[in-house]
């Protein structure tokens, strides 16, 4: 596996721009804040919850950390080719990509599929997974939305290993709901498109265990 590593940072980030003649605010020197100069002033970037309201920071950004920083140029190029707006930052030998949350899932797919990055790590990231099943008689369609913990990216098959942690919603009747709730805590591989809101069409047998999709334990241990 390549030594390069892309890490998804879980927090929401914000960015604030100050003109060149503006005084540096005290909070901008806090640990974890990045101060990036440009031709007209400076960008201050950090976790949204740590940026004071009076800063009028632009919120709703996600961050990716890329090591080594030398890989940043090609990763940024892949995003630019797809017309995804981003802000790139280098600090020491670490590169950062700041991406608007609305484009974040597509950016991940581009970077891992077309961008040639095959080592992706997460830090306590949670995503929403949507599933749908056709009932055995074929007359109804059940749906459920889970909150899932992201475990690992499997670049060989362009899929993510997740663990179902919470049931957010379902339209199932009590019997089918019991089968759906029984999947909580289980593991599953989902395609990259699932991160971008795709509803996964599954066989009803995945709920009964006749078709293996939800694993009772970490499937990597059985390899």
Domain co-membership, 99 together with 192? no
For 87-134, what is each residue's pLDDT tens digit?
Answer: 888 888 888 999 999 999 899 888 888 777 878 888 888 999 999 999
The residue among 72, 100, 122 that closes a domain is 122
- If asked whether residues 73 and 14 sit together in one domain, one would say yes
- Sheet architecture: strand order including 141-154: 187-191, 159-170, 141-154, 126-134, 199-202
Please check whether residue 223 lies inside any domain of the structure. no
Q: Predicted confidence band at 223 (pLDDT cuts at 50, 70, 90)?
A: low
User: Within a 10 A sphere around the Cβ of 156, how many other Cβ atoms?
Assistant: 7
Return the C-alpha torsion angle 96, 128, 117, 123, nearest 10: 50
Domain shared by 13 and 108, yes or no: yes
pLDDT for 97 equals: 92
pLDDT in tens, 125-171: 899 999 999 988 877 889 999 999 999 888 888 899 999 999 999 99
Q: Quick one: 16 and 75 in the same domain?
A: yes
Given this model, what pLDDT does residue 2 score?
Answer: 45
Q: How many domains is the chain partitioned into structurally?
A: 2
The Cα–Cα gap between 202 and 134 comes to 8
**pTM for the whole structure:** 0.78
Residue 199 shares a structural domain with residue 181: yes
- For position 117, what pLDDT does the model report? 81
State which residues form the domain around 181.
Answer: 126-218
* C-alpha–C-alpha distance, residues 122 and 42, integer Å: 29
Domain stop point among 81, 105, 122: 122
For residues 17-24, average pLDDT: 87
The answer to whether 146 touches 215, Cβ cutoff 8 Å, is: no
CB 20 within 8 A of CB 41: yes
Q: Do 66 and 156 belong together in one domain?
A: no
Which domain CATH number covers 67?
A: 3.30.2130.10
CA-CA-CA-CA dihedral for 32, 33, 34, 37, to nearest 10: -160
What is d(CA 94, CA 71) in angstroms, rounded to the nearest whole number?
A: 9
> Span 58-79, mean pLDDT?
89
Domain endpoint, select from 106, 122, 138: 122
Residue 19 pLDDT > 50, yes or no? yes
């Amino acid at each position: 596996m390549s030594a390069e590593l892309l890490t998804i940072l879980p927090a929401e980030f914000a960015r604030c721009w100050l003109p060149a003649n503006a005084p540096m605010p005290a909070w901008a020197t806090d640990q974890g804040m990045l101060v990036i100069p440009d031709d007209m002033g400076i960008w201050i970037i950090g976790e949204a919850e740590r940026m004071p309201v009076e800063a009028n920071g632009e919120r709703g950004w996600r961050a990716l950390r890329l090591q080594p920083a030398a890989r940043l140029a090609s990763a940024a190029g892949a995003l630019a080719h797809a017309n995804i707006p981003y802000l790139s930052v280098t600090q020491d030998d670490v590169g950062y990509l700041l991406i608007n949350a609305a484009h974040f899932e597509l950016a991940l797919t581009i970077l891992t599929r077309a961008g040639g990055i095959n080592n992706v790590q997460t830090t306590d990231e949670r995503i929403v997974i949507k599933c749908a099943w056709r009932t055995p008689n074929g007359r109804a369609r059940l749906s459920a939305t889970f909150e899932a913990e992201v475990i690992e990216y499997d670049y060989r098959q362009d899929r993510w290993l997740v663990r179902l942690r919470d049931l957010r919603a379902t339209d199932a009747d009590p019997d089918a709901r019991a089968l759906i709730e029984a999947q909580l805590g289980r593991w599953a591989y989902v395609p990259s498109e699932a991160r971008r809101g795709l509803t996964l069409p599954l066989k009803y047998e995945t709920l009964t265990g006749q078709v293996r999709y939800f694993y009772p334990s970490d499937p990597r241990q059985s390899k």
